[in-house]
């Protein structure tokens, strides 16, 4: 088969091979004689070569000058090719649309961790995901995608005149790269020409200061609070609370100490009685400048002051409350007239500062309140909800240990509330405990089964569980042993649970 002998039938044959699968429809026996010796060992590569020959045959009569056919540099390849089974799985996932996005990302992450590259015939389908999962896609296909871009652009007319201004996305990307190299220099460069930028660009560049954010950025961000564009002000208001030494933090600390005061007095029989005095804040232009405003729906429902209370506590640095221990603040807040906004504000501040001392104390005190062991505090759904969020602020291992204890003795509503806050990746040990709990629920009361089914949690937990072969087998066993009288809703969810774990385990086995 020579280049000049390529016919439309050969093109149709290549299309059929692409549809059926390159490994199921091999190239013609004489194909390897084209241009001397084209690769035929790997079915996918051989198929790409056949398509390339068809393209050259098509262009041969197009009238383009010879220089238009200047070859691009050779394709550089790093990493090992993935196994054929894994390559076939990637093709299925790419064809699966939005329903397969989670598995597709997982496949790419596994390939990157294993130092493997994506199959070349799937690169065009994989390219659109580079914007979302840039680092991962670059690890498995970055150089080949760059080569493909250069090859496709070769000989093409320029899309913009030389010297044309870069797009906002390109400028932001360049600023982020500068910020990663030199945070101080990038900010100084931004300050020098900031006022001449358009509002949208100013907002994009201020939000990019999140990269390498430090106390040195505080004075510039402070000036952004007076910017004429609301987007710029919002971007600065989002970053300033993270700088505990800023003027913003000083203002918020002063406000927090004004609205929350612990009064102490000696008891007649010894000891000290503490009371939290709450002074609700009023709306003002100075508060609004710092981003502390009530929403319209909160004003309509009469909750504007409570919203301001929560926002001030949430934005204040925790050192504003250093006069008393965290446990006292939280317990007194629970006994106050405004427990939810105050405790919720404390939790937001502890999360922002990643203060584990505050987080652990909050978990302990709130657990006592949820269990009804704090005098004068009634357990409630709202209290349980904020406790579960406090537990989630702990490191993953501590979250798992806390939830594992509850799986042994807790009521199902509390357990389900905790599981809604599950980390993105569960450990192997916790996955085993979770599977044992699911199995026990399916064998207990119908009310617990209804609670598990109505929570619609199982598919989400299967996405986060450790997908070992043993765990997939355990999930399949739960499904097989499900009582005949089990509700159809629960059965469908356990089917999905078992199917997701099985697929995730299979993907790992295909890489092995």
Gap between the Cα atoms of 389 and 383, Å rounded: 10
- pLDDT (0 to 100) of residue 445: 77
pLDDT digits (tens, 9 = 90+) for 310-349: 999 999 999 999 999 999 999 999 999 999 999 999 999 9
Distance between CA 245 and CA 221 in Å, rounded?
A: 13
Residue 310 and residue 342 in contact, taking contact as beta carbons nearer than 8 Å = yes
Distance between CA atoms of residues 421 and 391, nearest Å: 9
Give this prediction's pTM: 0.78
Please report the pLDDT score of residue 41 as a whole number.
Answer: 58
Q: What is the largest CA-CA distance in the chain?
A: 108
- Three-class HEC string of 460-498: HHHHHCCCCHHHHHHHHHHHHCCCCCCCHHHHHHHHHHH
Instruction: Report, as ranges of residue numbers, the positions in the chain whose pLDDT lies below 70.
Output: 1-12, 14-42, 44, 56, 58-77, 152-165, 296-302
- Residue 484 is predicted with a pLDDT of 83
427, 495, 487: which is closest to 458 by C-alpha? Answer: 495
What Å distances lie between residue 173 and 132, 162, 213, 224, 228, CA to CA? Answer: 14, 20, 16, 21, 24
Residue 284: Cβ within 10 Å count? 11
**Distance in angstroms (rounded) separating the CA atoms of residues 187 and 350:** 28
Encode pLDDT of 24-61 as tens digits: 655 555 554 444 445 555 676 777 777 777 776 766 66
**Of the candidates 106, 94, 68, 98, which has an alpha carbon nearest to the alpha carbon of residue 462?**
106
pLDDT for residue 159:
46
Q: Which 8-state DSSP code applies to residue 337?
A: S
Going by C-alpha positions, the residue among 120, 165, 175 that lies closest to residue 145 is 120
The reported pLDDT for the residue numbered 156 is 44
Question: How many CA atoms does the CB half-sphere of 467 hold within 13 Å?
Answer: 24
Distance CA 248, CA 321 (A): 16
276 pairs with which residues across the strands?
262
Report the C-alpha gap between 336 and 366 in whole angstroms. 14
Give the C-alpha separation, 328 to 312, whole Å. 19
Q: What is the pLDDT of residue 493?
A: 94
End-to-end CA distance of the chain: 39
478: left (phi > 0), else alpha (psi -120 to 50), else beta?
alpha
To which residue do tokens 């064998």 refer?
443
């Amino acid at each position: 088969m020579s280049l000049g002998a390529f016919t439309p039938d050969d093109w149709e044959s290549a299309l059929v091979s692409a549809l059926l699968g390159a490994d199921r429809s091999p190239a013609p026996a004489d194909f390897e004689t084209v241009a001397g010796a084209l690769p035929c060992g790997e079915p996918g590569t051989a198929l790409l070569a056949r398509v390339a020959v068809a393209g050259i045959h098509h262009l041969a009569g197009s009238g383009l000058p010879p220089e238009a056919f200047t070859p691009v540099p050779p394709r550089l390849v790093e990493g090992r090719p993935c196994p054929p089974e894994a390559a076939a799985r990637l093709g299925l996932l790419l064809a699966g649309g939005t329903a397969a996005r989670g598995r597709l990302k997982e496949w790419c992450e596994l390939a990157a961790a294993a130092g493997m590259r994506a199959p070349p015939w799937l690169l065009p389908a994989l390219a659109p995901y580079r914007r979302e999962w840039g680092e991962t896609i670059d690890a498995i296909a970055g150089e080949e995608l760059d080569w493909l871009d250069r090859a496709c652009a070769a000989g093409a007319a320029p899309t913009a005149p030389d010297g044309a201004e870069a797009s906002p996305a390109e400028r932001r990307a360049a600023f982020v790269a500068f910020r990663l190299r030199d945070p101080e220099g990038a900010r100084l460069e931004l300050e020098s020409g900031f006022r001449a930028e358009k509002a949208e660009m100013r907002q994009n560049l201020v939000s990019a200061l999140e990269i390498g954010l430090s106390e040195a950025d505080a004075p510039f961000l402070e000036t952004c609070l007076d910017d004429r564009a609301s987007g710029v002000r919002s971007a600065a208001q989002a970053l300033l609370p993270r700088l505990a030494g800023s003027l913003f933090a000083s203002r918020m600390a002063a406000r927090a100490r004004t609205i929350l005061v612990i009064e102490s007095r000696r008891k007649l029989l010894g000891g000290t009685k503490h009371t939290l005095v709450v002074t609700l804040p009023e709306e003002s232009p100075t508060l609004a400048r710092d981003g502390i405003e009530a929403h319209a729906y909160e004003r309509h429902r009469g909750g504007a002051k409570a919203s301001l209370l929560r926002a001030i506590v949430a934005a204040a640095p925790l050192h504003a409350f250093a006069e008393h221990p965290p446990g006292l603040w939280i317990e007194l807040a629970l006994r106050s007239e405004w427990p939810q906004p105050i405790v919720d504000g404390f939790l937001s501040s502890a999360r922002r500062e990643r203060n584990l001392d505050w987080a652990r104390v909050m978990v302990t005190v709130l657990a006592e309140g949820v269990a009804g062991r704090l005098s004068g505090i009634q357990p409630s759904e709202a209290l349980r909800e904020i406790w579960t969020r406090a537990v989630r602020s702990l490191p993953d291992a501590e979250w798992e240990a806390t939830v594992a204890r509850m799986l042994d003795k807790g009521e199902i509503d509390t357990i389900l509330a905790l599981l809604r806050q599950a980390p993105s990746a569960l450990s192997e040990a916790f996955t085993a405990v979770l599977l044992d709990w699911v199995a026990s629920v399916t064998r207990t009361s119908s009310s617990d089964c209804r609670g598990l089914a109505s929570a619609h949690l199982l598919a989400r937990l299967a996405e986060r569980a450790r997908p070992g072969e043993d765990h997939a087998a355990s999930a399949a066993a739960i499904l097989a042993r499900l009582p005949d009288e089990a509700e159809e809703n629960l059965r469908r969810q356990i089917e999905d649970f078992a199917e997701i774990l099985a697929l995730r385990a299979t993907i790992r086995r295909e890489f092995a």
